[in-house]
Homo-oligomer: A and B are copies of this chain.
Amino acid sequence: MQQHLPGIWRLTFGEPELATPVSKRYHEPDRAGLASLPVPNEAPFTLDRITGQKITRGFVVELPLGATEQIYGLGLQLLSFNQRGMKKTLRVNSDPVVNLGDSHAPVPFYVSTAGYGVLVDTARYATFYIGNTQKVRDRHTGSLVSDQASIVFSTQDLQDRRPHEDESTVTVEIPVAAGVDIYIFTGPTMREAIQRYNLFSGGGCFPPRWGLGVWYRCRADFDQQQVLQLADSFRADEIPCDVLGLEPGWQTHSYSCSFAWSGKFLEPRRLADALTERHYHMNLWTHAFTHASSPLYNELMPYAGDYEVWQGLVPDLTLHETRQALGRFFAHQHVDMGAAGYKLDECDNSDFNSSPWSFPELSHFPSGVDGEQMHSFFGLAFQETVDAIFREHNQRSYHDVRSSHALASPYSFVLYSDLYDQRDFIRGVVNSGFSGLLWTPEVRHAESVEDLVRRLQTVVFSPQAQINAWYIKNPPWKQWDRQRNNADDFSPDWAEVQAICRDTLRLRMRLLPYLYSSFYRYTSEGIPPFRALVMDYPGDPNTWMIDDEYLMGDRLLVAPLIAGQKSRPVYLPQGTWHDFWTNATYTGGTTIDYSAPLTIIPLFIKDNTVLPLALPTLHTADPQSLLLDVRIYGEGLLPITLIEDDGLTYDYRRGRLNKVTLSWDAAAGLGSMKRDGDADVPYYSINQWQV
**A residues engaging B (CB < 8 A)?**
55-57, 60, 85-87, 89, 97-100, 127, 129, 132-137, 139, 142, 144-145, 149-153, 158, 161-162, 171, 173, 175-176, 253-254, 258, 260, 292-295, 297-298, 301, 304-308, 311, 313, 351-352, 354-357, 359-362, 364, 370, 372
A132-B355, A361-B127 are known contacts. Are A139 and B301 too (CB-CB below 8 A)? yes
Contact of A260 among B135, B151, B158, B161 (CB under 8 A): B151
Q: A57-B362, A305-B136, A361-B173 are in contact. Are A144 and B97 (CB under 8 A)?
A: no
The reply to whether A145 and B57 contact each other, CB–CB distance below 8 Å, is no
- Binding site secondary structure of chain A: loop
What are the residues of chain B within 8 A of A361 when measuring CB–CB?
Answer: 57, 127, 173
User: Are B173 and A136 neighbours in the complex by a CB distance under 8 Å?
Assistant: no
With A and B bound together, what is the CA distance between A139 and B127 in angstroms?
35
Q: Are B360 and A134 touching (Cβ within 8 A)?
A: no
> With A and B bound together, what is the CA distance between A142 and B129 in angstroms?
46
- Which residues of chain B come closer than 8 Å to A60, judged between CB atoms? 362
Chain B residues positioned under 8 Å from A355 (CB to CB): 85-86, 132
Residue of B nearest to A356 (CB): B87
CA A171 to CA B363, docked complex, whole Å:
11
Q: Is the CB of A129 within 8 A of B360?
A: yes
- Do residues B362 and A308 form an inter-chain contact, with CB atoms below 8 A? no
Known A260-B151, A292-B145; contact A307-B98, beta-carbon cutoff 8 A: no
Q: In the complex, A351→B87 CA distance in Å?
A: 7
19 pairs, A vs B, C-beta closer than 8 Å? A56-B370, A85-B355, A86-B356, A100-B352, A127-B360, A127-B361, A129-B356, A133-B359, A135-B306, A135-B307, A135-B308, A136-B313, A145-B292, A149-B297, A150-B293, A151-B295, A152-B293, A153-B293, A158-B293
Kindly report which residue of chain B lies nearest to residue A304, judged by CB atoms: B136
Contact B133 A372 (CB under 8 A): no
Q: What is the distance, in angstroms, from A302's C-beta to the closest C-beta of chain B? A: 9
A176 CA to B174 CA, complexed, in Å: 12
* Nearest 9 CB-CB pairings of A with B: A87-B356, A151-B260, A173-B362, A144-B292, A134-B308, A153-B293, A151-B258, A145-B292, A145-B297
Given contacts A129-B360, A133-B360, A162-B254, 5 further A-B contacts (CB under 8 A): A85-B355, A132-B355, A144-B297, A149-B297, A151-B295
**Beta-carbon contact of A356 and B305 below 8 Å:** no
**Shortest Cβ distance from residue A173 to the other chain B in the assembled complex, whole angstroms:** 5
- Which of A56, A134, A162 gathers most chain B CB within 10 Å? A56
**Partner pick for A136 among B99, B293, B306, CB 8 A cutoff:** B306
Question: Which one of B145, B173, B311, B351 lies within 8 Å of A162 (CB-CB)?
Answer: B311
The 8 Å CB contact of A158, one of B135, B254, B305, B313, is B254
Instruction: Give the distance in Å from the alpha carbon of A57 to the alpha carbon of B124 in the complex.
Output: 10
What residues of chain B lie closer than 8 Å to A153, measured between beta carbons? Answer: 253, 292-293
Using A55-B362, A356-B86, A362-B173 as known contacts, say yes or no to A149 and B370 having CB atoms under 8 A apart: no
Cα A153 to Cα B356 in complex, Å, equals 26
Q: How long is the Cα–Cα vector from A350 to B643 in the complex, in angstroms?
A: 50
> Given that A60-B362, A293-B145 are contacting pairs, would A308 and B127 also be in contact in the complex, using a CB cutoff of 8 Å?
no
Please name all residues of chain B whose beta carbon is closer than 8 Å to the beta carbon of A351 when the two chains form the complex: 87, 89, 100
Q: Which of B57, B176, B360 contacts A370 (CB 8 A)?
A: B57
Cβ contacts under 8 Å, A100 to chain B? 351-352
- Bound-state CA distance A142–B355 (Å) is 28
| Cβ-defined partner of A149 (8 Å) among B175, B295, B311 | B295
Interfacial chain B residues near A364, Cβ < 8 Å: 55
